[in-house]
Amino acid sequence: MLNLFDTRGLRSQLKDSIPVAGLCPTGSYGLQDSMRSGFTSVKNELLPSHPLELSEKNYQPNKDKMNFSTLRNIQGLHAPLKLQMEYRAARQIQRLPFLQSSNLALDTLRGSDESIGFEDILNDPAQSEMMGEPHMMVEYKLGLL
Amino acid sequence: SFISLILFMFFSFLRNAVLEGEANKVGCSLPAARKTGTTICGVVFKDGVVLGADTRATEGMVVADKNCSKIHYISPNIYCCGAGTAADTEMTTQIISSNLELHSLSTGRLPRVATANRMLKQMLFRYQGYIGAALVLGGVDCNGPHLYSIYPHGSTDKLPYVTMEVASLSSDWFLCSSCSGSGSLAAMAVFEDRYKPNMEEEEAKRLVRDAIAAGIFNDLGSGSNIDLCVITKGKVDYIRPHDEANKKGVRTGDYKYKRGTTGVLSKTVLDLEVVEETVQTMDTS
């Protein structure tokens, strides 16, 4: 389904990021992690904690929307349709569930293989200290669990 | 680079706010970010661009680094002076430098100053001024020497103005100057007084040196040495330091007593005999 002219207001953007307050808090053993997220309050979980949070969360989708919309106006409807189909196909090329995938095809399609941003320098998932349990994750993915 | 499954997580902003509230209740304050309260400036002269900067980095009211380097490399023909939060200027210029390198490999050409300017302003605008980096970008490319000043919110000024820009390589290049930082008023005063179009290289270097010195001596946030970077077509002269305006003083007196102050009555020398030598291995597990 194309979302080219889907004008989303602040309310609908906020809806995506609302977790239920108090349920499943982040942190070990399900307790609240005061060191990282401060004291839990309903306000903190409903409103964005930083003025840039919403803008950054939606940066890539907004950029894509703008590009697809321009492409549609220039070349016709087939251009964004074909591109989105290719994106969907490229997104399915992944490694086994516990390994970090390089997403090379998707990067090449987007043109982001020729740019470096903060996501490449900070918090590189290929160098994360924790790894999921391989057997469990593969069994879950195959539906055996 | 990755698709943006990885984003900035902003939850530590909340934690910092809570910590700051708690600290203020007790009477302390959170540590200040290291800034480069700074004097940086640039001048376009006959054959290129001269960039100048002081070398002091402050952390609140304390000097954090007496000799830091504020003129950052962007590409072989483009350099950038940075004022504001030191980490922000450092990381921003490094990211833009990498992107510009990839871009120039892709196009196969020497990068243009306008490209670097565009990349910087788009990034700074995306983060709405939260990246505290005020930059003076200068370089020489196929269209001649260019000088831009870039503010933390993403606005840029090109000096000379676009209407006066000349595309050809001959005749007069309209030259101008740009300053930024806390000491910029002092430096700008020097520029406004002594700047002339089409200066020679030595004259331009003297002018930049004097402007930075004005900033160093009249602003507490700037100090130590003066770094210069002269960029001309095909050549970059990174002079660090160009001028040590603030040398640490040499002590004129000494409280240590010289040998011979106390009179020696007699002297006996005893040679120590090595009787036994044992080696004991340490437990390094």
User: Among A2-6, A36-40, B107-111, B261-265, where is mean pLDDT lowest?
Assistant: A2-6
Weakest-pLDDT range from B92-101, B109-118, B152-161, B205-214:
B152-161
**What is the C-alpha to C-alpha distance for residues A87 and A90, in angstroms, rounded to an integer?**
5
DSSP track, B144-172: EEEEEEE-TTS-EEESS-GGG---SSSSP
From A36, A39, A119, residue closest to B2, measured CB to CB: A119
Which of B1, B14, B103 should one mutate to test binding to chain A, selecting the residue with the greatest count of A CBs within 10 A?
A: B1
Report the pLDDT value the prediction gives residue A24, as an integer from 0 to 100.
55
Backbone angles phi, psi at B164, to 5 degrees: -95, 0
The two structure tokens encoding residue B48: 């290129």
Q: Does the structure show a pLDDT above 60 at B235?
A: yes
Structure tokens at A10: 């602040």
In the three-class reduction of DSSP (H, G, I as helix; E, B as strand; rest coil), residue B284 is classed as coil
State pLDDT tens for residues B38-77: 888 889 988 899 999 989 888 877 888 888 899 999 999 9
Q: B104 falls in which pLDDT band (50, 70, 90)?
A: very high
Contact B126 A59 (CB under 8 A): yes
Give a yes or no: residue B282 inside a domain: no
More confident residue, B35 or B105: B105
pLDDT of residue B148: 92
More confident residue, A30 or B264: B264
Would B168 be classed as within a structural domain? Answer: yes
Residue B101: pLDDT band by 50, 70, 90 thresholds?
very high
pLDDT at B161: 28
| B240 in any annotated domain | yes
For chain B, how big is the Rg over CA atoms in Å?
26
Q: A-chain residues within 8 Å CB-CB of B130? A: 52
> How many contacts, defined by CB atoms under 8 Å, are there between A and B?
77
pLDDT tens per residue, range B25-34: 888 877 766 6
Q: For chain B, what is the domain count?
A: 1
Contacts of B8 in chain A (CB under 8 A): 52-53, 56, 118
- pLDDT value of position A44: 64
Closest residue on chain B to A91 (Cα) = B3
Instruction: Please report, for residues A108, A137, B138, B189, the alpha-carbon distance to residue B227 in angstroms, rounded to integers and kept in the order given.
Output: 41, 56, 15, 19
The Cα A95–Cα A103 span in angstroms is 9
The alpha carbon of A70 is separated from its chain's Cα centroid by a whole number of angstroms, namely 23
Chain A residues with CB inside 8 Å of B120's CB? none
pLDDT above 90 coverage of chain A, percent: 21
Distance from CA of A107 to the nearest CA of B (A): 7
What average pLDDT does the segment A124-143 reach? Answer: 82
**pLDDT given for residue B187 in this prediction:** 84
Q: Are B14 and A38 an interchain contact pair (Cβ–Cβ within 8 Å)?
A: yes
Burial A61-76 (b: 16+ CB within 10 A, else e): eeebbeebeebbeeee
CATH number at residue B53: 3.60.20.10
Whether residue B251 lies inside any domain: the answer is no
Q: Is the pLDDT of residue B107 over 90?
A: yes
Using 50, 70 and 90 to split pLDDT, how confident is the model at A20?
low
User: Cβ–Cβ contacts within 10 Å for residue B23, how many?
Assistant: 12
Chain segment A84-101, per-residue pLDDT in tens: 999 999 998 888 888 888
Q: What integer best gives the mean pLDDT of chain A?
A: 77
Kindly list the residues from chain B whose CB atom is less than 8 angstroms away from the CB atom of residue A35: 15
User: Does residue B71 lie within any of the structural domains?
Assistant: yes
Specify the higher pLDDT residue, B251 or B110: B110
Q: What is the pLDDT of residue B15?
A: 75
B274 compared with A25, residue with greater pLDDT: B274
Scanning every residue of chain B, which has its alpha carbon at the shortest distance from the alpha carbon of A120?
B1
Q: What is the model's pLDDT at position B232? A: 95
Q: What is the pLDDT of residue B24?
A: 84
Q: Does some domain include residue B86? A: yes
pLDDT for res B283: 85
pLDDT value, residue B5: 52
The verdict on residue B263 lying in a domain is no
CA B115 to chain centre: 21
Rounded average pLDDT over B222-233: 90
Task: Give pLDDT, residue A25.
Answer: 56
Q: Specify the amino acid at residue A25.
A: P
Average pLDDT value over all residues in chain B: 82
Q: What is the pLDDT of residues A43-85, one digit of tens each?
A: 666 777 788 888 888 898 999 999 999 999 999 999 999 999 9
Residues 65-124 of chain A with CB under 8 A from chain B are 103, 106-107, 110, 112-121, 123
pLDDT in the model for residue B166: 26
Confidence class for position B171, pLDDT limits 50, 70, 90: very low
Decide if B115 is catalytic. no
- Contact yes or no for B172/B111 (Cβ under 8 A): no
Give the pLDDT mean for B102-119: 96
Using an 8 Å Cβ cutoff, are A52 and B153 in contact? no
Contact B93, B74 (CB under 8 A): yes
> Which pLDDT value is given to residue B249?
82
* A38–B3 CB contact, under 8 Å: no
Question: Residue A10: which residues within 8 A CB-CB, separation 6 or more?
Answer: A54
Residue B9 domain-assigned? Answer: no
Contact by Cβ (8 Å): B229, B212: no
| Inter-chain residue contact B10 with A44, CB threshold 8 Å | no
Q: Is B37 helix (H, G, I), strand (E, B) or coil?
A: coil
Q: Quick check: B4 and A60 CB within 8 A?
A: yes
Smallest CA–CA separation between A38 and chain B, in Å? 5
Q: Give residue A33's pLDDT band: very low, low, confident or very high (50, 70, 90).
A: low
Report pLDDT digits (tens) over B67-92.
889 999 999 999 999 888 889 999 99
In the block, which residue shows the tokens 């020729």? Answer: A114
Closest-CA distance of chain B to residue A61, Å: 9
pLDDT band (50, 70, 90) for residue B237: very high
Partner residue facing A49 (CB), from B10, B106, B126: B10
Q: Looking at the partner chain, which of A36, A106, A118 has a beta carbon nearest the beta carbon of B3? A: A106
Q: State residue B285's pLDDT score.
A: 74
Residue B70 belongs to domain spanning: 31-244
- pLDDT above 60 for A16: no
Residue at B125: amino acid letter = F
β pairing state of B78-85 and B71-75: antiparallel
